[in-house]
Amino acid sequence: MRYEPIDPTLFVQNRSRLRELLKPNSLVIVQSNDILPTNADGSLPLHQNRDLFYLSGIDQEETILLLFPDASSDAEKEILFVRETNEEIAVWEGAKLDKKQASEVSDIKRVEWTQSFERLLMTLAPQAEHIYLATNEHLRAMKIVETRNDRFIKDCQTRFPLHRYERLAPLMNELRVVKDDIEVDILQKACRITEAGFRRVLGFVKPGVGEWEIEAEYLHEFVRRRSRGFAYSPIIGSGKNACVLHYLDNDQICQDGDLLLMDVAAEYANWNADMTRTIPVNGRFTQRQRAVYDAVLRVMRQANLLLRPGILPVDYQHQVRQLMEKELVDLGLLDAAEAKAQDRERLPLVSQYFMHGTSHHLGLDVHDVAPAQVPVREGMVFTIEPGIYIPEENLGIRLENDVVIGRENNIDLMASIPLEPEEIEDLMNV
């Protein structure tokens, strides 16, 4: 793998924590993701099933993890199945993990070839009472493509119709929502790579450069630092494009006097950073741009003080909207009397200029999994990303950092990435 080896202690601990949540006499089966096709004989790079990776650290196709904590034999409590390689595969695709290497990555003692899975399943499944299977239950998931786990669920339920089937997703969501120190260290690495890209871009942006050229500068810096690239499709929007929340074309020329909104970050070892910065194309904020920027920055800092253990996400978002409402009134975008008299049960007026959520969980997924509407807890990792979008002024500003919820204070993983407008101007005018 391109990234440095991960301490297998993380995966051992993750499996141990999962076992504590299982019902007695349970079998857990998690399949890797498929390598997806494009057109003709093309294919996309593997994006590993995050639950499988979280429990094993294996970043390879045709992998299966089987956990049976109450098995009568110690050799059947944890079994990892990996794809058997051969000389032809090595020539065309490169080296794959052998059993010893897979065991070292995962710290699972028993490793078998994937073709052995069916035989062992037929032996072990009749001994189990419950079978936990993996599904994608993210609230925003688009379930268009049938996954390897989806296919296995159908097959397993056909072969063993009288077992008690359980949902693995709620347990994994509960485990993954609080980050281990090893995970936080990897996230910090992704943030540092992201910072390097941003600092590179600050010296590159000027009137006349293309949004796509800026994207290329980020990618160059990310890959040279052993990232596999972008954590998500980058948003590089100048002028009016900054007001399009999911702008992905990145095909326009940056004009003198415009702002440039960049929602772009690096992935490292499957964990993801998530950063947004907004900078002046010519290196200097106008008075109006600076006023809006300062308003967003104030809300960002106040939101960080609100996002503390015990608060519910819905209450947090409501309080941030109240902060933003005051800023929008001060900027002359909302009328104070109308804001005070509005029906709070309807879509708030603030949504005209700030229409998205302020924070989301971050980790192995950019919008990481989490139990619905659970209070914020120590060890969770969130983004904080308020924004103000004024299409009639071709002006959009969003700022975003990643924070670990701490006991006394939040830990900003992006604290060293330039954010103050004066610092940004200084770095752009060296």
Bridge pairing between strands 387-390 and 395-398? antiparallel
- For the question of residue 360 being annotated catalytic, the response is yes
DSSP 153: H
DSSP 43: B
Q: Which of 360, 361, 365, 368 is catalytic?
A: 360
Bridge pairing between strands 395-398 and 235-238? unpaired
Instruction: In whole angstroms, give the CA distance from residue 251 to residue 256.
Output: 16
- For the question of residue 246 being annotated catalytic, the response is yes
User: In a 3-state reduction of DSSP, which class is residue 190?
Assistant: helix
- For the question of residue 367 being annotated catalytic, the response is yes
Q: Which of 140, 246, 346, 407 is catalytic?
A: 246
Q: Which of 59, 78, 385, 402 is catalytic?
A: 385
Closest CA to 213 of 200, 226, 232, 195: 200
**Could you tell me the two tokens for 44?**
């996309």
Q: Which of 274, 325, 327, 402 is catalytic?
A: 274
φ, ψ of residue 376 to 5 degrees: the values are -60, 140
Q: Which of 15, 215, 367, 368 is catalytic?
A: 367
- For the question of residue 385 being annotated catalytic, the response is yes
Q: Which of 174, 356, 412, 425 is catalytic?
A: 356
Instruction: In whole angstroms, give the CA distance from residue 209 to residue 232.
Output: 22
- For the question of residue 232 being annotated catalytic, the response is no
- For the question of residue 330 being annotated catalytic, the response is no
Q: Which of 211, 353, 398, 402 is catalytic?
A: 398
Query: What is the identity of the amino acid at 171?
Result: L
What DSSP line would sit under 293-341, residue for residue?
HHHHHHHHHHHHHH--TT--HHHHHHHHHHHHHHHHHHTTSS-HHHHHH
Query: What is the identity of the amino acid at 50?
Result: R
- For the question of residue 130 being annotated catalytic, the response is no
Instruction: In whole angstroms, give the CA distance from residue 425 to residue 430.
Output: 9
Query: What is the identity of the amino acid at 328?
Result: L
Catalytic machinery residues: 41, 246, 263, 274, 356, 360, 367, 385, 389, 398, 400
